[in-house]
Structure 1
Amino acid sequence: MGPRQHTGGPNRGPDASRVPSVSALIIFAKAPIPGQVKTRLCPPLTPDEAASLHGSIVLDMLERSRGTASMDRFVACAPSPDHVFFKILAERHGVRLIAQTGDDLGARMARACADMFALGYQHVMVIGTDLPTLPASAFGDAVKLLASHDLVLGPARDGGYYLIGLRKPAPELFAGIPWSTDRVLALTQQKAAALGLRTALLPVRRDIDTVDDLRAVIDETGLQTRAPQPATTLSPRTAGVLRLLADRLCTPNAPRRAGARP
């Protein structure tokens, strides 16, 4: 048998004629359109600032996931793979673009996973883009865990999860979940137990959904004090964007979004 043909490339959409790598990583991402991304950060961020931050985090996710062996990368695009932002990603970062199909987040993730398994991938992982401090090693860690587990979850501090990895289709894990609540992880684990899936957990991490999350990341990474940061913690691109926002967001009188907890 000849060598496996690596599928990672600037092509659009899955290509069943190619032999896949062992693992597929699906990055769910929105185009950085002002007023349509990170709206919970506005105010105090402007729509343009929120879009700039979002775009930088998406690019960081692509760069950090680049070096994982035997893993093909796909970007599940919203609103459409035709957006110029995604076309540039495909050209410059060697990822393939797929559409998000389904009535809600769960249906879209289930469909994306099913499509990857249909192409012959042994492991399928889905991740969002709200994780500026995620280390590059997280992807390899998830792949290693999938060698001996049916399901891998990356718990988020808000009660959700930032990554889900599977060894076989399990659409039940995505059905009937109250997305964007603190019950997502617990309910997913309950469903996994009912299905008899062997589950492993990655370290708990913070994603950026709210202004308080953003302030916490700035504080935890020392950006407000200009402290030097480990290269594995925060990329220079996102650090630069956050540094511009740090003084305004982290002062005692900085405006808080209505309803935010002190």
Structure 2
Amino acid sequence: MSDVEPRAVSSVILKGGVGKSTISINLARQLATRHDVLFVDLDPNGHATMGLGLDEAYERDVNLGNLVLDDRDATLDDVVVETDAEFDVLPSSNTLEQVEKELTGAIQGSSRLHKHVVEPVLGDRYQYVVIDQPAYPGMLNNNGLVASRNLIVPMTPGSEAIGGFRRTVDRLVSPLREYMDVDILAIVPNRLQDRIDQQTEDRKLLENLNTQEHLAERLPNFAHITPEEFERIDSGEIDPPRPGIRERKAFTQALGENVPLLDYDPENDQLEHLEELATIVERGGVSR
């Protein structure tokens, strides 16, 4: 695509167990069908790195710290791993917690990933950089936000869903917006599995998101339901759709085989939703 606008994007929310790594891995894979993509795993737990079968890379002596700390003694080529999934990976490391501590005392410690990794390659070596963020605030999270400034926010059904989103905005996004533009490109209801013609947790999440304008405008089309459509669903006038990214065993099975969903099950019904998410990243926002 000749008119590509290079963009870095983070998958982020201050709540665990929402499938953040799964979303970011599969987003990177969809983008990689037509672009050069770098995937950056900033989570010290390394779920994405392990899910891609890069266990040895997680244990290596050379890692992100060698690129961003004061005694930088490595190049990106020393750390990045090529994968069969068609995108490159800057893996997590068993030393990332120590790297985070050292970033705390570093000059401009929150901008090191941007300055030394993302800025030099974005638009040149890679058209897109996808960052998997930790589920807690800190210097690694700050680095991902500063480097990307474009966010994908996964949310799962449950009483803490909206609370996790608000914490993310209040503790991460709003403070950063005092210094730079930060865009939430999409809010992604994830791991949905229940009917929405009944008062299930799925229904509550979707109604919550779709009835607040500032949230609804960031919902992909696969999760957008108007009040009129809810009324028609409740009256039985239309069959209830299956919005959001749905719970599928294939997601877990794919990572068990160390590949994204596209490579494990190329006919899976959720790939069209992941493709829309990739298009949102390319466009820089949701389009109705």
- TM above 0.5: no
Give TM-score scaled by structure 2 length: 0.33
Q: Which has the higher contact order (CA 8 A, sep 6+)?
A: 2
Give TM-score scaled by structure 1 length: 0.36
Structure with higher helix content:
2
